[in-house]
């Protein structure tokens, strides 16, 4: 939308809304595809290698989808006699080319640059951290419950029969206290 402004061309407001919606959807679609492939490759590869793999896997789909959008938009521009429709076609075609270039050439570098943040905010990473935290809390609660029941906290190196022995001693103490 900046190119027509700097070139001094006026534009209809509804055209701006149409082009923005189409461009936003197409660019996000390309970015999701590339990012998903990057995250998949990142599970087994280093950052730069994952970025190359993601671009290699995503490029055919992005070029196909973007190419169809560019060709269709420029066909609308050249075939339409209505100025507003022709203008929308030109804006969509130019925007689709810019989207393809940005997603293919700049997004992989951004993914590599911000890999630590992406890894830290990844849903699975957060889920695993949450599970570990819940497990630690559950262990603490269990220790507190055992203390209240009169059990001694037994280290992990002790055997099961030591725990049974403590339980038998507790029962004897309870029986003595009742008498």
Pair 71, 55: CB distance under 8 Å:
no
Highest mean pLDDT among 38-47, 130-139, 170-179: 38-47
CA–CA separation, 154 vs 150, rounded Å?
12
Mean pLDDT, range 49-64, rounded to an integer: 94
Q: Helices H, strands E: what count in the chain?
A: 8, 0
Q: Report pLDDT digits (tens) over 64-102.
A: 999 999 999 999 999 999 988 888 998 899 999 999 999
* In the chain, domain spans: 2-121, 125-178
């Amino acid at each position: 939308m900046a190119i027509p402004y700097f070139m001094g061309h006026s534009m209809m407001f509804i055209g701006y809304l149409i082009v923005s919606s189409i461009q936003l959807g197409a660019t996000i679609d390309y970015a999701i595809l590339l990012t998903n492939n990057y995250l998949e490759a990142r599970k087994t590869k280093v950052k730069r290698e994952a970025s190359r793999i993601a671009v290699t896997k995503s490029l055919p789909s992005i070029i196909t989808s973007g190419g169809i959008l560019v060709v269709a938009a420029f066909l609308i521009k050249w075939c339409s006699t209505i100025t507003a429709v022709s203008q929308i076609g030109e804006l969509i075609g130019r925007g689709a080319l810019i989207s393809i270039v940005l997603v293919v050439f700049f997004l992989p570098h951004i993914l590599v640059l911000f890999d630590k943040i992406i890894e830290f905010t990844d849903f699975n990473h957060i889920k695993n951290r949450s599970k570990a935290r819940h497990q630690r809390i559950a262990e603490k609660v269990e220790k507190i419950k055992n203390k209240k029941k009169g059990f001694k906290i037994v280290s992990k190196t002790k055997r099961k029969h030591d725990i049974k022995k403590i339980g038998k001693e507790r029962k004897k103490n309870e029986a003595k206290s009742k008498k």
